A and B are shown apart, each in its own frame.
Chain A
């Protein structure tokens, strides 16, 4: 009986979370152009309830890592992620944010998952807006399927992240 109530509560919460994704666009590079296009009239990411860009990480639910993360930028990104309130989600927008892309050199971080845990990776250099929307729907699906009513990340991940003060201590790649 109690289980059925929590399940209902889960569903309601997940429903709310998936349709109310306030985004924090961490825009660094070229992908920002496609981020604009995705927010623009034709593709209109607002349709999915992910409209409000909240420029304070405290108020955002979804961190869009848009573009290349460099060694100099990585601690900043990590800090932003730490500042966000749970439940929080991260989308790696484009190959640079996912893997470093074709920048394989001393200053490019090979994917933002070295610094923050990523929920959805969107490939493409830059990804087409359709891909972005697909990634967003994927995230919504993931949120809808979450089972704990306070969405918790892998404990180890959180601990590791908390230990790291500058984001340099790399998180394990989440399988």
Chain B
């Protein structure tokens, strides 16, 4: 594999018998795994030759074309899959996206940089704050103020981002449990998400679409006792997570449904452009937070969980472990967070104080221009990338020197992961489509934009 990354500090043996990246690097990627590389059952992925072989044994059948979606009950986003099935085996599939194309990129061209934040909230609407942070960092990089961001703001961004990542993974894991028929763990995870949302609501004023991050910092400081409440919430969340784990990870039926289904090799995954938990499930320890640290991520100690087989179960397990790692980061961030301002002190970027706006013409003009014309971003272009809920979330922005982006493109990880759906479900059963889709975690808002 060509994309070896820097060695990680403090690697530990991760849960569920997964090898650490060190072990992978030392050679036996699959040998170390306690789980077989090629699943023994027939329904999961077969290659073309094997399929032919099966055809030879069985009576000839006529393939049936059947349409799944776009309003199928359990797909995360709205997607249409045209299946050619033989019995219950998928012989061919055509995954069609675009049912939630809301013209994010076009809308962004008509909005000032600050006004784009609400739209980013609705990209990956499961972890809005990560999108907020990603977009803010891109614009800040273009303006050239990344180095001047207040430290406290950076820590707050890490904290809200990691909370968001936890809610993202919780939703994904819960939904995947529901998709294989386990409704109860789903609601338990939603319950935990609810706790975290309440915290975020206290901080940002909104439950889901926060628009909390601003260019140059965040909109407001942490409320009183936020840290204590977060600590307590994380504590009780851990016990619920353990419960969920006992219902799923140790459940034979669940393991049977997930193990070895829709497996993909690291090479293929990289070739398809996968990032995030999906890529890590194949054993590649690539995490933007670790490999290209932004904000203050280089100050935290955390591990990058990886899988070995690259199947649905690995994707599930990686996400589950990432929740724990996010909690670790939160723990450290809560300890390290310094006092100070949360917004950059620069009148060209930050809004003046309300009192000054009402009483001096200078601040009035500043406020007016920032609202109507937007923050003037120097002409140029930038690509900035962060670790989103589903992988590398990139923003490519072209500025023409005005207050609105001339072009704003999103490299949305779930769009890139979705392109491999056809490949993953080839040869699988109908019953495997939805769990596979769930573990790819295609989010309509992000995929179709």
Instruction: Say if the beta carbon of A108 comes within 8 Å of chain B.
Output: yes
Instruction: Say if the beta carbon of A114 comes within 8 Å of chain B.
Output: no
A137 to B101 Cα, complex, angstroms: 32
Closest 10 pairs between A and B when the two form their complex, measured CB to CB: A55-B73, A30-B125, A40-B190, A105-B103, A41-B191, A103-B102, A28-B78, A73-B99, A30-B122, A42-B194
Closest chain A residue to B207, Cβ basis: A128
The residue among A28, A39, A41, A108 with the most chain B CB atoms within 10 A of its own CB is: A28
Instruction: Say if the beta carbon of B118 comes within 8 Å of chain A.
Output: yes
Chain A residues with CB under 8 A of B118: 102
> Would you mind naming 28 contact pairs between A and B with Cβ atoms under 8 Å apart?
A25-B73, A28-B99, A28-B444, A29-B102, A29-B445, A30-B121, A33-B208, A37-B194, A39-B187, A40-B187, A40-B190, A41-B187, A41-B190, A42-B191, A55-B74, A70-B102, A73-B78, A73-B99, A73-B100, A76-B71, A102-B118, A102-B119, A103-B102, A105-B106, A106-B103, A107-B102, A126-B207, A126-B208
B107→A33 contact, CB < 8 A: no
Chain B residues with CB under 8 A of A25: 73
Q: Known contacts A36-B190, A40-B187, A73-B78; is A80 also within 8 Å of B71 by CB?
A: yes
Shortest Cβ distance from residue A23 to the other chain B in the assembled complex, whole angstroms: 11
Contacts A105-B103, A107-B101, A125-B209 aside, 4 further interface pairs with beta carbons under 8 A come to A33-B171, A70-B100, A72-B99, A107-B102
A72→B101 contact, CB < 8 A: yes
Q: Taking chain B's interface residues, is the majority helix, strand, or loop, or is none over half, making it mixed? A: loop
Q: Known contacts A36-B190, A73-B70; is A29 also within 8 Å of B208 by CB?
A: no
A42 to B193 Cα, complex, angstroms: 11
Instruction: Say if the beta carbon of A157 comes within 8 Å of chain B.
Output: no
Closest chain B residue to A26, Cβ basis: B71
A73 to B101 Cα, complex, angstroms: 10
Instruction: Say if the beta carbon of A98 comes within 8 Å of chain B.
Output: no
Chain A residues with CB under 8 A of B122: 29-30
A53 to B126 Cα, complex, angstroms: 21
B103→A37 contact, CB < 8 A: no
Interface size class, chain B: 20 to 34
Instruction: Say if the beta carbon of A140 comes within 8 Å of chain B.
Output: no
Instruction: Say if the beta carbon of A99 comes within 8 Å of chain B.
Output: no
A78 to B194 Cα, complex, angstroms: 33
A80 to B103 Cα, complex, angstroms: 25
A108 to B106 Cα, complex, angstroms: 12
Chain A residues with CB under 8 A of B103: 103, 105-108
Instruction: Say if the beta carbon of A11 comes within 8 Å of chain B.
Output: no
Closest chain B residue to A38, Cβ basis: B190
Chain A residues with CB under 8 A of B191: 40-42
A29→B100 contact, CB < 8 A: yes
Residue-by-residue, is B207-220 near A (CB-CB < 8 Å gives 1, otherwise 0)? 11100000000000
Closest chain A residue to B191, Cβ basis: A41
Closest chain B residue to A100, Cβ basis: B102
B190→A28 contact, CB < 8 A: no
Residue-by-residue, is A66-89 near B (CB-CB < 8 Å gives 1, otherwise 0)? 011010110011001000000000
Residue-by-residue, is A126-144 near B (CB-CB < 8 Å gives 1, otherwise 0)? 1010000000000000000
B78→A37 contact, CB < 8 A: no
A37 to B188 Cα, complex, angstroms: 11
Chain B residues with CB under 8 A of A42: 191, 194
A126 to B188 Cα, complex, angstroms: 22
A53→B73 contact, CB < 8 A: yes
A72 to B101 Cα, complex, angstroms: 9
Chain B residues with CB under 8 A of A107: 101-103
A76→B187 contact, CB < 8 A: no
A163 to B251 Cα, complex, angstroms: 51
Residue-by-residue, is A40-76 near B (CB-CB < 8 Å gives 1, otherwise 0)? 1110000000000101000000000001101011001
B102→A76 contact, CB < 8 A: no
Shortest Cβ distance from residue B102 to the other chain A in the assembled complex, whole angstroms: 5
A77 to B70 Cα, complex, angstroms: 10
B208→A34 contact, CB < 8 A: yes
